[in-house]
C-alpha cells in the first residue's frame, strides 16, 4: 500500500497484542528536571511562548474576564510555563515588582508551583511559574465530571497545603493573599501544589481579598491588613470546601457545627467512605482555624502535625487517587489539542462516537466514484447493504450489530473504506475489545496514511490498553497532521 506509518507498524501491532500496563518508572525513567534559577525573561520570549498571548492559551478559571490573566506557554527549551500578565494599572513601581518577584522566586518547594521568572518591560508586568497540567482544586472539588474527589485525596490536599504554608513561613513569607481553591493546582503526578502567585503582594490598590466578604478573615475587615493568622483562617475555609465539596460560608458551617450537625456539612458523595472519627477530627481542626480571635488559631506547623495523623492510603500515588492519567507534562499534551484529541485524551468514547457520526464518510477518498460504477452488481448491493445496516446500528449505539455488519462489508472485499474500519474500531472499544480496535485503527491508517482520525483512534486504543507513552505519540502525530491539513 505504500502507507506511511508513525512509530507503529503491523508487525509491531501483532507483537504487542497483550501489552502490560506501563509502570510509573517507565514514564519517568527516574529523571527529574531541576528547576532553573530565577530568570528575567524578555517580552518577546513570553510572547512567542504563549503564541502571541493567544486567547486559546488562557488557563485562568475566569478566562479573559480575570483582572490578571494567566496563559499556558512553551519555552524554546520545551519547558511548559504559566505566565501571569497583570493589567496596566498594576505594579506601577517596577522596582517594587522586581524585588517582590525575586524574593518569591528564591523559594523552591515541591509543595509550591514555583516562580521561575518575571518580565517588566515598559508597562508590562508578568510573572512566570511552573505549569501545572492538571487544573485546580476548585475544578476537581466543585466541578468534577467523572468522579468526586476521594476522601484520602482531600486529606492529602489539606496536608500538602499546610506543608506549603509552613515552608513559606519558615522562609519569611508567611503572608498569602486570598487563599482559595483556585490557588491550589495539581502537577503532572497529581500532587497538589500551592500557586506562588498568592505570595506576591498585590498591586498598588493594596487589596488582598477579592472573594466574597463572607469568606474574608474578620480582622481583615476591621484593619484591611493580612496577617499569618488571616492565612490560617482562609485555610479553615478550604477545609470546609474539602469536607463539603461546596464553598460554604464559615458562619453557616460554624452554626451547623455548634448544633452538632456536622454530618450535614459532609459531601454526600463521601457517604460510607470515611469514619465519623476522621470527619470529627477534620471539623474540629477547621473550627480552630475559623476562630474569631486570631490569636486562638493554630499556626502552620501545628496544622501539619494535626493533618499527618489523619492521612489515609499513603502508599497510593496521587494521580491514582485523583483519577487522572500519569505522565510528563512536557510530553503528554500538545499545546493545543483539537476537539478529537481532547476526547481521546479523556477517553470519552461517547464524544468520539458523536464526532465520527457527524464526520460521515467525507474522508473515504475515491469511494463515492467507485460506488457509482459498481452499484449494478448483486455482490456490490449486498456489500452496501451490510455497510448500511452497520451504519444504522452504529448510530443507534448497537455496537455488537455494528461489528457484525461492518465485518461482513470488510470480508466482502469488493471495496475498502477507512471510515468503516474507524467505526468498527470504536465499536470494538465500546465493547471492551481494545486489541481488535487497535488492529482496525492500523488498517484505517494503512488505507489512508494522511488521515488524522486513524491516528486518533490508535491513541484511544493504546490508552485503553494502558500503553500511555505510545498513545501520546500517536496523539501528537494526529494533532500535527490535522494542523497541517487545516493550513492547506
Per-residue model confidence (pLDDT) at position 183: 94
Per-residue model confidence (pLDDT) at position 339: 82
Q: Let me know whether 14 and 47 are in one domain.
A: no
Task: Please identify which residue in the block is written with the cell numbers 469568606.
Answer: 215
Q: Let me know whether 81 and 218 are in one domain.
A: no
- Burial state string for 335-372 with b = 16 or more CB within 10 A and e = fewer than 16: eebbebbebbbbbbbeebbebbeeeeeebbeebeeeee
Residue 68 sits in a domain whose CATH number is 3.30.200.20
What is the distance between the alpha carbons of residues 82 and 118, in angstroms, rounded to a whole number?
11
Q: Encode pLDDT of 254-275 as tens digits.
A: 888 887 777 788 998 888 888 8
Per-residue model confidence (pLDDT) at position 284: 94
Q: What is the mean pLDDT of residues 60-83?
A: 83
298 C-beta neighbours (distance < 10 Å), count = 19
* Residue 25 within any structural domain of the chain: no
* Residue 35 within any structural domain of the chain: no
Q: Let me know whether 291 and 416 are in one domain.
A: no
Mean pLDDT, all residues of the chain? 83
- Which of 102-116, 284-298, 385-399 comes out lowest in average pLDDT? 385-399
* Residue 32 within any structural domain of the chain: no
Beta bridge partners of 74: 80
Q: What is the mean pLDDT of residues 76-94?
A: 88
Q: Let me know whether 108 and 61 are in one domain.
A: yes
* Residue 31 within any structural domain of the chain: no
Per-residue model confidence (pLDDT) at position 287: 95
Q: Encode pLDDT of 138-172 as tens digits.
A: 999 998 877 899 999 999 999 999 999 999 999 99
Q: Encode pLDDT of 441-487 as tens digits.
A: 999 988 888 889 999 999 999 988 888 878 888 888 888 888 777 76
Q: Encode pLDDT of 199-246 as tens digits.
A: 987 644 445 565 568 888 999 888 888 899 999 999 999 999 999 999
pLDDT reading at 5 higher than 70: no
Q: Let me know whether 173 and 318 are in one domain.
A: yes
* Confidence band, pLDDT 50/70/90 cuts, at residue 378: low
pLDDT reading at 27 higher than 70: no
Termini Cα distance of the chain: 24
Among 130, 151, 171, residue at a domain's last position: 130
Q: Which residues constitute the domain of residue 421?
A: 10-20+337-487
Per-residue model confidence (pLDDT) at position 296: 97
pLDDT above 90 coverage of the chain, percent = 48
Q: Let me know whether 194 and 111 are in one domain.
A: no
Q: Let me know whether 363 and 453 are in one domain.
A: yes
282 C-beta neighbours (distance < 10 Å), count = 25
Grid coordinates given for 233: 483562617
Q: Encode pLDDT of 283-321 as tens digits.
A: 999 999 999 999 999 999 999 999 999 999 998 999 889
Residue 362 sits in a domain whose CATH number is 1.25.40.10
Among 106, 130, 154, residue at a domain's last position: 130
pLDDT reading at 87 higher than 90: no
* Residue 34 within any structural domain of the chain: no
9 compared with 274, residue with greater pLDDT: 274
Q: Let me know whether 371 and 236 are in one domain.
A: no
Total of domains in the chain: 3
- Tell me which H or E stretch contains 257: helix 250-258
Q: Let me know whether 177 and 302 are in one domain.
A: yes
Q: Let me know whether 146 and 123 are in one domain.
A: no
* Residue 256 within any structural domain of the chain: yes
Among 102, 130, 158, residue at a domain's last position: 130
Helix ranges (DSSP H) in 396-433: 399-412, 418-430
* Residue 314 within any structural domain of the chain: yes
What is the distance between the alpha carbons of residues 154 and 152, in angstroms, rounded to a whole number?
5
pLDDT reading at 21 higher than 50: no
Q: What angle do CA 335, 341, 344 make, to 5 degrees?
A: 130
Q: Let me know whether 404 and 423 are in one domain.
A: yes
What angle in degrees, to the nearest 10, is found between the helix axes of 349-359 and 378-395?
140
* Residue 4 within any structural domain of the chain: no
Per-residue model confidence (pLDDT) at position 146: 76
Residue 304 sits in a domain whose CATH number is 1.10.510.10
Q: Let me know whether 109 and 188 are in one domain.
A: no
Q: Encode pLDDT of 402-440 as tens digits.
A: 999 999 888 887 778 899 999 999 999 999 899 999 999
Per-residue model confidence (pLDDT) at position 130: 96
What amino acid positions are annotated as catalytic residues?
A: 178
Per-residue model confidence (pLDDT) at position 207: 52
Amino acid at each position: 500500500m505504500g502507507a506511511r506509518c508513525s512509530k507503529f507498524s503491523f508487525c509491531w501491532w501483532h507483537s504487542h497484542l497483550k501489552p502490560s500496563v506501563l509502570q510509573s518508572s517507565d514514564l519517568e525513567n527516574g529523571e527529574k528536571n531541576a528547576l532553573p534559577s530565577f530568570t528575567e525573561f524578555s517580552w518577546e520570549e513570553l510572547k512567542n511562548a504563549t503564541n502571541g498571548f493567544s486567547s486559546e492559551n488562557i488557563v485562568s478559571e475566569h478566562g479573559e474576564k480575570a483582572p490578571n490573566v494567566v496563559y499556558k506557554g512553551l519555552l524554546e527549551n520545551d519547558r511548559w510555563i504559566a505566565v501571569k500578565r497583570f493589567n496596566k494599572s498594576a505594579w506601577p513601581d517596577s522596582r517594587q515588582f522586581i524585588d517582590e518577584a525575586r524574593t518569591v522566586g528564591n523559594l523552591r518547594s515541591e509543595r509550591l508551583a514555583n516562580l521561575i521568572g518575571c518580565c517588566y518591560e515598559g508597562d508590562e508586568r508578568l510573572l512566570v511559574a511552573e505549569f501545572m497540567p492538571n487544573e485546580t482544586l476548585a475544578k476537581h472539588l466543585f466541578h468534577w465530571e467523572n468522579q468526586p474527589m476521594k476522601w484520602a485525596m482531600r486529606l492529602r490536599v489539606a496536608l500538602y497545603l499546610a506543608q506549603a504554608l509552613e515552608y513559606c513561613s519558615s522562609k519569611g513569607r508567611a503572608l498569602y493573599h486570598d487563599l482559595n481553591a483556585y490557588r491550589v493546582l495539581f502537577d503532572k503526578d497529581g500532587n497538589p501544589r500551592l500557586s506562588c502567585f498568592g505570595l506576591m503582594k498585590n498591586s498598588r490598590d493594596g487589596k488582598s481579598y477579592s472573594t466574597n466578604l463572607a469568606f474574608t478573615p474578620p480582622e481583615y475587615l476591621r484593619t484591611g491588613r493580612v496577617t499569618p493568622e488571616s492565612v490560617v483562617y482562609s485555610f479553615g475555609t478550604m477545609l470546609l470546601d474539602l469536607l463539603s465539596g461546596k464553598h460554604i460560608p464559615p458562619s453557616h458551617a460554624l452554626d451547623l457545627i455548634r448544633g452538632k450537625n456536622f454530618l450535614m456539612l459532609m459531601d454526600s458523595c463521601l457517604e460510607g467512605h470515611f469514619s465519623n472519627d476522621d470527619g470529627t477530627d477534620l471539623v474540629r481542626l477547621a473550627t480552630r482555624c475559623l476562630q474569631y480571635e486570631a490569636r486562638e488559631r493554630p499556626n502552620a506547623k501545628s496544622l501539619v502535625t494535626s493533618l499527618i495523623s489523619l492521612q489515609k492510603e499513603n502508599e497510593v500515588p496521587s494521580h491514582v487517587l485523583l483519577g487522572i492519567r500519569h505522565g510528563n507534562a512536557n510530553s503528554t499534551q500538545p499545546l493545543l489539542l483539537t476537539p478529537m484529541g481532547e476526547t481521546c485524551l479523556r477517553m470519552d468514547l461517547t464524544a468520539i462516537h458523536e464526532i465520527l457520526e457527524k464526520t460521515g464518510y467525507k474522508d473515504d477518498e475515491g469511494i463515492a466514484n467507485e460506488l457509482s460504477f459498481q452499484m449494478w452488481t448483486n455482490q456490490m448491493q449486498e456489500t452496501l447493504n451490510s455497510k448500511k445496516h452497520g451504519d444504522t446500528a452504529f448510530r443507534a449505539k448497537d455496537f455488537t450489530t455494528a461489528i457484525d455488519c461492518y465485518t461482513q462489508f470488510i470480508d466482502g472485499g469488493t471495496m475498502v473504506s477507512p471510515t468503516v474500519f474507524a467505526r468498527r474500531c470504536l465499536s470494538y472499544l465500546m465493547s471492551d475489545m481494545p486489541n481488535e480496535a487497535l488492529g482496525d485503527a492500523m488498517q484505517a491508517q494503512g488505507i489512508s496514511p494522511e488521515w488524522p482520525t486513524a491516528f486518533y483512534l490508535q491513541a484511544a486504543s493504546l490508552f485503553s490498553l494502558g500503553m500511555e507513552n505510545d498513545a501520546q505519540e500517536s496523539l501528537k502525530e494526529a494533532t500535527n497532521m490535522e494542523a497541517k491539513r487545516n493550513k492547506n
